[in-house]
Chain A
């Protein structure tokens, strides 16, 4: 009898405990009410009852659903996106998604699929994206062909696929993306490629496949949006195989962990017979690079040679007259002139960032690039005592210049005279040495965006930003101001078009009431992470509809007379301030609770004082402030006393006066 009783007890305890565990664990996160839910990593074995029928986007990865069938998702008829990543799914039975007519994406990544029924994917009227990554597929016949007519992308990476031959009835007409990354494809035959003939503007990804051969003519007169053969050992096989094909972009880069053959001019010969607009050769080594290496690059619009160990580009490259975009990031140039820019007269976009060595800008190295519009020279350890007119000589059409993350630059007045059409200038994290009263940006009448964050310029120089008549967006994050304050006369005064101003992390203690008087167009001001108090709020009284970020400052109270200044703004962030929740701040707290829709970061807007309310959210605070009964009693006594005193003194005065007549 005893063992039986203990068994019973155990059973009771087990069931009780299980219930508690499941109840506490089964909490999907609501991302958008009644629409978007995340139920990942909960060990669920079914769709929880708590999930509303109206759910449209469901992330259900990392749960346990060995079998999915027509009863699994019955209730969720509005599903549009269903992520079943790594749910240990073995079986997808008939009509699993029969009620999900709107379903457009199914993610089955990382499931050990044994079998998918013929009608497994029936139901959705326009299934567009199907992820079958790492599901153990070795043969494309595994994928049920019914109801795939609308399919736009099919992801088949990390499987055991060795042939891309699709079954004859496989609908490919709407396919735009076909991803075969990390499979075992070593040969592409004409038959394989012909199977994709109905697809237009197709992007095909063969990264991580060791392609050893392509049947001659397989790609003859075929068109693609993009082709990727990343990490392929022998580039000439690919280029010869692509003869007479047309491709918008061709990715032939390699990786740190892939064995690499040196690229020779002969290996690139095949490119003469391929029509390509954009090509990427990242991380390859060029063997004896010379002007003839690029003999077959004449039709190219974009060339990416990131991390190709280049010390220089040969001079006199012919036929690259039409190249528009050149990427030379992470190479080993010593001087900018070593790129021999004269070979690329049509260039509009040049990027040389993250150079391995310190880059010397030289003098006029880019002067032949008259059409250049975008130039990225960030992360290069560039230093110059007098920048940038000699260095950027003759760039009349330059619109975007990035010199961020470099060593100190000395700027003098009109430092960017050679690029008067600049619209965006990024100097973040590059120290600027400007002697007062120089105005380095003086002639930049078209400049709209200027990033000077962490540049540590001399902010007492009133003329620093002179001439920027059209500047809309200024970032001054992480800079210091004299005495930690922005005074009535300051360097922002010339910026009458300014809309966005970022002054976060500037150690500011105060802002003068009239500091922003000349900036009438501002719509976004970020003053977070300073030490400002309520005194600075007055600086915005002339502005309306602002986004005003005052998070992480030292604001304790907001007096009554400042409320109008705040109430005319559209969004305010006061989170992480040591706010006072005593009766001395009652006007503000009452007003705050009436205007919650104006505020951002409500959950982090908390009281710091009194200690009993520390950490309480401001919208939860209930204060009753007013004069107490005792107070009223004493006030009345006091008034009576004063009145009696007055009467007596008048009486006394009159009597005294009459006695002396």
Chain B
């Protein structure tokens, strides 16, 4: 009988993660003295990889990032929504076009559903001094049909 229980337990642990709504692991973008950035994919279908080349509370302009993902949608048109919260209240919301039919800003614009993308390059951000505190950032990339391309729940801890 013991054997059955043991087998059952093993079996349960094997089945459980795939039958319940699984959450993707939390990854560290960077951890440096007084700044820590984590993210977790909020696309139920897949995880993605992301890192920033420098990590400092004095955020430099034109940062270089690395980004790896499998596209589940065509990205001839691609938009980024950012929502910034602290202590549960919203500070900032904005939307930014990354790829447009009449202005493909990046070389990966126009790539197709099913393609694997690796991007290492600049993102044209503004320089910024991050005030102390803990911030939640919701980032969403989507195409013209509002279909999710990538979704991230990020946490920024600045001390």
Interface residue tally for chain A (C-beta within 8 Å): 43
Interface 9-residue window, one of B77-85, B97-105, B130-138: B97-105
Residue of A nearest to B62 (CB): A256
Q: Out of B19, B70, B115, B122, which one reaches A133, CB within 8 Å? A: B115
Q: Out of B3, B18, B115, which one reaches A134, CB within 8 Å? A: B115
Q: How far is the CA of A9 from the CA of B72 in the complex (A)?
A: 40
Hey, which chain A residues are within 8 Å of B11, CB to CB? Answer: 10, 13-14
Shortest CB–CB separation between residue A252 and chain B, in angstroms?
Answer: 13
Asked if B114 is at the interface of the complex by the 8 Å CB criterion, the answer is yes
Q: Mark A44-80, 1 if CB is under 8 A from B, else 0.
A: 0000000000000000011000000000000000000
Interface residues of B in 6-56 (CB under 8 A from A): 7-8, 11, 15, 18-19, 45
Q: Mark A297-330, 1 if CB is under 8 A from B, else 0.
A: 0000000101100000000000000000001011
Asked if A248 is at the interface of the complex by the 8 Å CB criterion, the answer is no
Hey, which chain A residues are within 8 Å of B119, CB to CB? Answer: 257
Q: Is A86 a contact partner of B114 (Cβ separation < 8 A)? A: yes
Q: Is A3 a contact partner of B113 (Cβ separation < 8 A)? A: no
Hey, which chain A residues are within 8 Å of B70, CB to CB? Answer: 86, 110
Asked if B121 is at the interface of the complex by the 8 Å CB criterion, the answer is yes
Asked if A85 is at the interface of the complex by the 8 Å CB criterion, the answer is yes
The number of A-B residue pairs with CB atoms under 8 Å apart is 85
Interface residues of B in 57-100 (CB under 8 A from A): 70, 72
CB within 8 Å for A85 and B114 given contacts A14-B11, A257-B119, A257-B121 = yes
Q: How far is the CA of A282 from the CA of B119 in the complex (A)?
A: 20
Asked if B159 is at the interface of the complex by the 8 Å CB criterion, the answer is no
Asked if B145 is at the interface of the complex by the 8 Å CB criterion, the answer is no
Interface residue tally for chain B (C-beta within 8 Å): 30
Q: Is B116 a contact partner of A181 (Cβ separation < 8 A)? A: no
Hey, which chain A residues are within 8 Å of B115, CB to CB? Answer: 109-110, 133-134, 157-158
Shortest CB–CB separation between residue B50 and chain A, in angstroms?
Answer: 16
Hey, which chain B residues are within 8 Å of A257, CB to CB? Answer: 106-107, 119, 121-122
Asked if A41 is at the interface of the complex by the 8 Å CB criterion, the answer is yes
Q: Is A61 a contact partner of B114 (Cβ separation < 8 A)? A: yes
Interface residues of A in 244-275 (CB under 8 A from B): 253, 255-258
Q: How far is the CA of A133 from the CA of B70 in the complex (A)?
A: 13
Q: Out of B3, B7, B107, B112, which one reaches A155, CB within 8 Å? A: B112
Interface residues of A in 74-119 (CB under 8 A from B): 85-86, 107, 109-110
Q: How far is the CA of A109 from the CA of B112 in the complex (A)?
A: 8
Q: How far is the CA of A62 from the CA of B115 in the complex (A)?
A: 11
Q: Is A134 a contact partner of B105 (Cβ separation < 8 A)? A: no
Hey, which chain B residues are within 8 Å of A3, CB to CB? Answer: 3
Q: Is B3 a contact partner of A6 (Cβ separation < 8 A)? A: yes
Asked if A231 is at the interface of the complex by the 8 Å CB criterion, the answer is yes
Q: How far is the CA of A41 from the CA of B103 in the complex (A)?
A: 31
Hey, which chain A residues are within 8 Å of B114, CB to CB? Answer: 61, 85-86, 107, 109-110, 133-134
Q: Is B112 a contact partner of A131 (Cβ separation < 8 A)? A: yes
Shortest CB–CB separation between residue B62 and chain A, in angstroms?
Answer: 9
Shortest CB–CB separation between residue B149 and chain A, in angstroms?
Answer: 14
Hey, which chain A residues are within 8 Å of B110, CB to CB? Answer: 181, 207
CB within 8 Å for A2 and B3 given contacts A85-B113, A131-B112 = yes
Q: How far is the CA of A248 from the CA of B11 in the complex (A)?
A: 64
Q: How far is the CA of A282 from the CA of B19 in the complex (A)?
A: 49
Q: Out of B1, B72, B106, which one reaches A255, CB within 8 Å? A: B106
Hey, which chain B residues are within 8 Å of A107, CB to CB? Answer: 114
Hey, which chain A residues are within 8 Å of B19, CB to CB? Answer: 21
Residues of A bordering B, CB below 8 Å: 2-3, 5-6, 9-10, 13-14, 17, 21, 41, 61-62, 85-86, 107, 109-110, 131, 133-134, 155, 157-158, 181-182, 207-208, 230-231, 253, 255-258, 282-283, 304, 306-307, 327, 329-330
**Interchain residue pairs with CB less than 8 A apart (16):** A2-B3, A3-B3, A5-B4, A6-B3, A17-B15, A86-B114, A109-B112, A110-B70, A133-B114, A134-B114, A157-B112, A158-B115, A253-B104, A255-B109, A256-B124, A327-B102
Residues of B bordering A, CB below 8 Å: 1, 3-4, 7-8, 11, 15, 18-19, 45, 70, 72, 102-107, 109-116, 119, 121-122, 124
